[in-house]
Amino acid sequence: MALSSPTTVESAAIQRRTVRLLAAAQLLSGIGNGATLSIGSLLAVQLSGSSAWAGSVTTILTLTGAVSALPLAGLAERRGRRVGLVTGLVAAMLGAILVIVSAASGVFAVLLLGGALLGLGTASNLQARFAAVDLAAPESRGRSLATVVWAITIGAVAGPNLIQPGAVVGAALGLPAIAGPFVFSVAGLLLAAVLLTAGLRPDPLLLARRLAEEADDAGGRPAATEPRRRSLTEGLRAVRASPRAMLALVAVVAAHGIMVAVMSMTPLHLQELANVRAAGNPMGHAGHDMGTDALVIIGFTISLHIAGMYALSPLMGWLTDRVGRIQTIVLGFVLLTVAVGVAGFGQQDPVLVTVGLIILGLGWSAATISGSTLLAESVGQRQRVVVQGVSDTLMGAAGALGGGLSGVVLSWVGYQGLNMASGALAVAVLAVAAAAGFSSSRAPSPRAG
């Protein structure tokens, strides 16, 4: 017996409940990502015995997130958002368990495997923002997406500050102190998976697809084909067919690459500042041992940066809906340009570097929320999921490339040079987005799909 379609009022109620569930799951799962970003490098150095491997966990997490984005999107396309999201969260939970095992056993390879599985959780968290707009009305898409992005704030900001309470938990469980925060990660990821498994019904993507098919039937348009495996090439072809989708993809990918490049090298730069000041030689380069004060400053700076990325997401969503998608993209790249200027020219002052990192997070938030919203509505329903998977894949690739190249650029031209190079890319995208903004209407014009 075929299910009857919900009325407009019922669809709105389902959408509100879906956003609440996704937001709650993001809050819980965000703890895993925050802990990994802040503690993964410390574990990598401890287990490998070399600071050369400090970025290995973040790198493998980012790469796995990029590689798994399209397969998870394909799974969602065939089975629905619930299956796709829960699969990523369960894999991440197993990854957090492996990180604990690696700390207890001292095996570096187990840590890398755990980091790789945690990358699937990152991909799942990214795709949750698109699940928030499957059923959203055009005038509220930005706010729905932003609400889910915002919900990760508490977990992501708490992660870098869980070292001390995690040590207490680890000791109580007979684990190494550094493994303690990942106990919180396991619990958060498990609760998020259970919440989505039980509560994300009806599945927003499957319901949106059914409603679109019924609209096609009513309008005499060809019926949609059954979901099938789609490729990266097919997704890129769909993006190229829409100038607005192309702009959205470029904005999201460029903003992520710029953010990761600057953010990933900032702890190293702050470490260098602390060492130089401790040595009393402003022109010298001290060793890599940091005191407690330096660790606190670095943790605080990254926490504020992450807060900048997520805390004002609702405002960015409101601007996306009320001011316009492209206009908010322009705002994002203006903020990114200002951020690298403040951090680069203020490189000798930890306060200015921190301010720059906060603005960097705000710019990323504006560009990512508006760009993701524009992307979701600029392609048809049948191409939407694969295009979203392409977006997340390229975001992850840009993050990995930015993180990998930033170390080389830092060694060549220093922290200020890294910021200036990132600023050049931001200005280039800003010019393209501003030109598109001048030629478009201020009101969003989503394509029905």
Q: How far from chain centre, in Å, is Cα 75?
A: 20
Model pLDDT, residue 231? 63
Residue 354's contacts (CB-CB under 8 Å, 6 or more residues apart) are: 300, 301, 304, 305
Using CA atoms, how far apart are residues 47 and 57, in angstroms rounded to an integer?
Answer: 12
Q: Record the pTM.
A: 0.80
Residues 6+ apart with CB under 8 A from 267: 41, 298, 301, 302
pLDDT at 203 over 60: yes
- The closest alpha carbon to 99, from 151, 51, 46, belongs to 46
Record the tokens describing residue 24, joined without a space. Answer: 């709650």
Among residues 426, 417, 414, 436, which one has the least CA distance to residue 327?
Answer: 436
pLDDT number for residue 45: 77
Percent of the chain residues topping a pLDDT of 70: 84
Is-contact 348 298, C-beta < 8 A?
no
User: Where exactly are the structural domains of the chain?
Assistant: 13-200, 234-449
Average pLDDT value for residue range 267-272: 83
Hey, what long-range contacts does 234-243 have (CB within 8 A, 24 or more apart)? Answer: 234/383, 234/386, 235/70, 235/383, 235/386, 235/387, 235/389, 235/390, 236/390, 238/379, 238/380, 238/383, 238/386, 238/387, 239/375, 239/379, 239/387, 239/390, 241/379, 242/378, 242/379, 242/447, 243/436
Among 80-84, 361-365, 406-410, the minimum mean pLDDT is found in 406-410
Digit-coded pLDDT (tens) for 3-44: 566 777 788 899 999 999 999 998 888 776 666 666 777 788
Instruction: Say which CATH topology domain 234-449 has.
Output: Growth Hormone; Chain: A; (1.20.1250)
pLDDT range class, residue 418, cuts 50, 70, 90: very high
Report the C-alpha gap between 212 and 12 in whole angstroms. Answer: 15
Report whether pLDDT(286) > 50.
no
Give burial (CB, 10 Å; 0-12/13-18/19+) of 197: middle
**CB-based burial of residue 4 (10 Å sphere; 0-12 exposed, 13-18 middle, 19+ buried)?**
exposed
Spatial separation of the C-alpha atoms in residues 38 and 380, rounded to whole Å: 39
Cβ atoms 197, 90 nearer than 8 A: no
Domains 13-200 and 234-449 share a fold: yes
* Residue 133 and residue 77 in contact, taking contact as beta carbons nearer than 8 Å: no
Q: In CATH, which of 1.20.1250.20, 1.20.120.1200, 3.40.640.10, 1.10.260.40 is domain 13-200?
A: 1.20.1250.20
* Residue 88 · residue 121 · CB < 8 Å: yes
Q: Note the pLDDT of residue 339.
A: 98
Counting Cβ atoms within 10 Å, is residue 448 exposed (0-12), middle (13-18) or buried (19+)? exposed
Closest CA to 58 of 423, 403, 432, 412: 403
